[in-house]
Amino acid sequence: MSDEIPEVVILRLPLYVRVLSQLESRGIEVASSQVLGDFLQISPALVRKDLHYFGRFGTQGQGYQVRQLKNELRQILGLDRTWTMALVGVGQLGTAILSYGGFQQQGFHIVAAFDADPARVGSRAGDLIIQDVRELQETVRSKGIAIGIVAVPAAAGQGVADALVASGIRGILNYAPFRVHVPPSVWVRDVDPVVVLQSITFHLKAVCGQRPVASLALT
Amino acid sequence: MSDEIPEVVILRLPLYVRVLSQLESRGIEVASSQVLGDFLQISPALVRKDLHYFGRFGTQGQGYQVRQLKNELRQILGLDRTWTMALVGVGQLGTAILSYGGFQQQGFHIVAAFDADPARVGSRAGDLIIQDVRELQETVRSKGIAIGIVAVPAAAGQGVADALVASGIRGILNYAPFRVHVPPSVWVRDVDPVVVLQSITFHLKAVCGQRPVASLALT
């Protein structure tokens, strides 16, 4: 097992957990690397390589124990506990995030919400009272919040990220359409459906038979 | 230039476009691979390797022309045109997607919305009248819709994906927390903030000093 696990492998681990949960709910006890690879749209060899980073889960020719592998991967990912989160920005997007049930179901609890707009501060959003963003640092520390969610316009994104980092937060889920700069000890992930769409269109453009990529090379 | 561009490179191209746009808006005309790499949190060598797939953009020791590179990458990604999309599922999530301004700004237009719930069909959602999902195929064909957005509960996800594929759609943005199966000619990308969070916690768990990954290896 290597200490240097490529980030691309770590990004796939939650997908393994999801697929294994689906298989488990269908009563399937053992899954081959072929089956797992089909779900993740990667090769069986890559599945074996991915999982080998974390130990010898499978037995040659026998496949993986679905429930055991799921539980181990959940533990590796830190999903065997709950996580607290602070939301910054309670506009339209932030409100949708607060009302999204998927976080809580998976053990991610938004325990504080902040905004810079005095018109919003003090009003109720779900179970929370929206706080002034100037209280961010104190609240994050007193509640021991682990993860920050940035749901502010692009122009405010870096300032909010800086405030989260200053408050000691090490993980940021960034919805602002902006690449934020953080120290290497902080993990930022962007949630941006537009960026996702923009990597789909690369393929659609190609399949639609419009001018091939090769002709765009600058020589 | 290679025909076999790794998917991970394609996924980074929209991020280059975003960073280049940010640099351009700040009046910066030339950027080194170091600067681009800092934004993307990858090495300058990887930046050069990524961009080399698409031609010789940079000049040794002189960096990249910001505007030119941005425009070329936009063209490569198919962003120099507009794209039409169909939304399936107009519940809480679908409604938030419809009201999200980011798609339209970047040339992605939702031109039809569908739901299976008779209580929703026929009512207005933004500029659209919600249609019965049974009209999906006909509408996608008559409007020449390129991309489908799946915003239904997990249990309905595969059925909707199948219907989109049957209607001729080649690109799917999937918000359902479920891995959908599609033919190899169709490109599916998941938008799932929970999966994203789950890859952050891997790192937080490690930095929090709780039991190290190495001890989890099954031997």
Crossing angle of helices A33-40 and A7-25, rounded to 10°: 110
| Strand residues in chain B grouped as ranges (E) | 30-31, 64-65, 83-88, 108-115, 124-125, 128-129, 131-132, 147-150, 171-174, 187-190
Q: Is the pLDDT confidence value at B214 over 80?
A: no
Cα separation, A185 vs A170, whole angstroms: 7
Q: Is B24 helix (H, G, I), strand (E, B) or coil?
A: helix
Q: Give the DSSP per-residue string, B185-210.
A: TSEEEE--HHHHHHHHHHHHHHHTT-
- Indicate the pairing of strand A83-88 with strand A108-115: parallel
Tokens of B41: 């949190």
Q: What is the pTM of this model?
A: 0.78
| Least confident segment among A130-144, B39-53, B120-134 | B39-53
Q: Within a 13 Å sphere around the CA of A24, how many CA atoms are in the beta-carbon half?
A: 14
Which of B103, B148, B91, B214 shows the shortest CA–CA distance to A1?
A: B214
- pLDDT at position A147 is 97
- pLDDT at position A207 is 52
Q: Is the pLDDT confidence value at B84 over 70?
A: yes
| Least confident segment among A52-56, A194-198, B86-90 | A52-56
* Cβ neighbours of A84 in B, within 8 Å: none
Give the nearest partner residue to A57 out of B201, B207, B218, using CB atoms: B218
Percent of chain A with pLDDT over 90: 62
Q: Is B87 helix (H, G, I), strand (E, B) or coil?
A: strand
In angstroms, the separation between the Cα of residue A84 and the nearest Cα of chain B is 11
- Answer whether B201's CB lies under 8 Å from A185's CB: no
Q: Is the pLDDT confidence value at B62 over 70?
A: yes
Please state the rounded mean pLDDT for residues A82-102.
Answer: 89
- pLDDT at position B42 is 85
- pLDDT at position B59 is 67
Which helix (H) or strand (E) element contains residue A171?
Answer: strand A171-174
B50, B106, B197, best to mutate vs chain A, most A CBs in 10 Å: B197
Which of A190, A152, A148 shows the shortest CA–CA distance to A170?
A: A148
Which of A33, A39, A22, A19 shows the shortest CA–CA distance to A64?
A: A33
- pLDDT at position A58 is 65
pLDDT tens column, A118-155: 999 999 998 999 999 999 999 999 999 999 999 998 88
Please state the rounded mean pLDDT for residues B114-125.
Answer: 96
Q: Is the pLDDT confidence value at B210 over 80?
A: no
* Cβ neighbours of A181 in B, within 8 Å: 38-39
* Cβ neighbours of B38 in A, within 8 Å: 181
Tokens of B154: 């997990």
Please state the rounded mean pLDDT for residues A37-65.
Answer: 84
Q: What is the ipTM of this complex?
A: 0.82
Cα separation, A55 vs B218, whole angstroms: 5
- pLDDT at position B155 is 87
In angstroms, the separation between the Cα of residue B156 and the nearest Cα of chain A is 14
Whether residue B72 and residue A218 make contact (CB cut-off 8 A), yes or no, is yes
End-to-end CA distance of chain A: 44
Q: For chain B, what is the mean pLDDT?
A: 87
